[in-house]
Chain A
Amino acid sequence: MTQMKYTRDHEWVKLEGNDVAVVGITDYAQHALGDLVFIELPKMGATFKKGAHFAVVESVKTAAEVYTPVSGDVIEVNTALESDYDLLKSETDGWIAKFKITDAGELAALMDEAAYKDYLKTVD
């Protein structure tokens, strides 16, 4: 199991094998949004550059874009989320999409768990 990495926009990402990145959103992000009422998932095969918005999660009060922390093609979409938003909370099943990536080095620049926890103290 590789280490989980985090972005300043509260996405998490972890590597599966050498070139598949699994991406979801953190507990903090979910708590800030409140109860979700809709999720817009990316299309299979779509290509995203690091930092592009690839999904949207919506609560009653707001729509929040989810940005991919890495560049790559969408190879798997977690359609189970569409009928169960609570699933997002699960560390194993709460991922939004899996990307086939070309540059695993992009993960190196992201925060590890300790750094993300420190970062959370500075927000809100």
Chain B
Amino acid sequence: MKQTPLHSAHLSLSAKMGEFAGYDMPLYYDLGVLKEHEWVRSHCGIFDVSHMGQITIEGSGALDFLNSMTPSDFSKLKIEAAKYSVFLNQTGGIVDDFIVTHCGEDAYFCVINAGCKDKDIAWLQSKLPENVELKVHDDYALVAVQGIESEQVLREALNLDLSGLGYMKMMAYGDRCYISRLGYTGEDGFELSVPVEDVQILWHRLLAHPSVKPIGLAARDSLRLEMGYCLYGHDIDATTTPREADLEWVMAKDKIASFPEPTRKRVGIVLTDKGIAREGAEILNLAGDKIGILSSGGFSPSLKQSIGQGYVPIDYAAEGTEIQVNVRGNLIPAQITKMPFLKPKTKTGK
């Protein structure tokens, strides 16, 4: 199994390790999933996300290339600004979802999913025009610092003043580190892209701060689920289109019409009775007919109830529609709910 540069740090913290996208990753540490989740919602958690792919697409044709590979339009994306988007295949299915930052003139820095990176890179290479170059930053690690105390932690632990950095903005630190104000938790927070040789000291300095706890992938999943964010390979994949996935907001307005009107849609679902519904559970209408399956699901530590996402026919996609979810043969009453399930606390744009 592959390892991130922080693998030994996780082992020395006695993390429970498990496989994710071919990497041996920390699932949770000594606090446990529930308390890690709550810690990020109230203090500051650090996550090793170095398994994710970091690439730069650059050259005079970079903007046109990105516009052609996604349903988005990046021509108005300012330098240092970041945007969420998806790569699409020829049939409009989602190849991967990613954050792209306009990191310099004709240069776009993308963070892609660990499980997709080899496939993405090969696919992008095969489509690359002559005036575009693809750089893969295997020599960089990525650490997410998430939670309401993140700005303070970075000031006190690293002497970094990030009060002026807006949401979805990136700044360079020195000539080798890049800090973006964004994340996958719905909290204010940052992602730090640093050379592999610098990540140990960064991790340990952050960890020494009393507001900081290390957070594993299990809590990362429950945190993102509360925000209604997609997990690639579960909530979106090559068989789902951005319109079906309720991602029209990432699409350029003039591109939306070129995609067929969706007949099904990704929705949020909450169980209105006791029980926990997980990925794969059947979604049924009140008559008991199967109308879909949960693409993600689990207990929300913040709401203390079971939440999930899934695709249902458009007739059932309206907020408040009453449905049922099959949990081990028990049909549990549930409702279509708008996402995010919880109000995000990300810093609003500057």
> What residues of chain A have their CB less than 8 Å away from a CB belonging to chain B?
34-35, 37-38, 40, 56, 58-61, 63
Among B32, B276, B298, contact of A35 (Cβ-Cβ < 8 Å): B32
Which of B33-41, B74-82, B152-160 lies at the interface?
Answer: B33-41
Docked complex Cα distance between A63 and B27 (Å):
16
Convert B265-306 into 0s and 1s, putting 1 for each residue whose CB lies closer than 8 angstroms to a CB of A. 000000000111010000000000000000000110100100
* Nearest chain A residue, comparing its CB with the CB of B304: A37
Question: A40: nearest residue on chain B (CB-CB)?
Answer: B275
A/B pair count, beta carbons within 8 Å: 40
| Partner among B35, B219, B299, B328 whose Cβ is within 8 Å of the Cβ of A37 | B299
Indicate the member of B35, B274, B276 with the most A CB atoms within 10 Å: B276
**Distance in Å: Cβ of B337 to nearest Cβ of chain A:** 19
Q: Count the B residues whose beta carbon is within 8 Å of the partner chain — how many?
A: 19
A–B Cβ pairs within 8 angstroms, 20 of them: A34-B28, A34-B33, A35-B33, A35-B34, A37-B276, A37-B299, A37-B301, A37-B304, A38-B275, A38-B276, A38-B299, A40-B275, A58-B276, A59-B33, A59-B34, A60-B37, A60-B218, A60-B301, A61-B27, A61-B298
Q: Assess the A58–B299 pair: CB atoms within 8 A.
A: yes
Chain B nearest CB from A59 CB (Å) reads 7
Nearest-CB residue, chain A, relative to B278 = A63
- Tell me the residues in window 201-238 of chain B with beta carbons closer than 8 Å to chain A beta carbons: 218-219, 222
Q: Which single residue of chain B is at the shortest CB-CB distance from A65?
A: B328
Please measure, in the bound complex, the distance between the C-alpha atom of A59 and the C-alpha atom of B32, giving whole angstroms.
10
B325 → A minimal CB distance (Å): 14
Q: Which residues of B contact A37 (CB under 8 A)?
A: 34, 276, 299, 301, 304
Distance of B330 from chain A, by nearest CB (Å): 8
In the complex where A37-B276, A38-B274, A38-B299 touch, is A60 in contact with B222 (Cβ < 8 A)?
yes
Which A residues are CB-close (under 8 A) to B299? 37-38, 58, 60
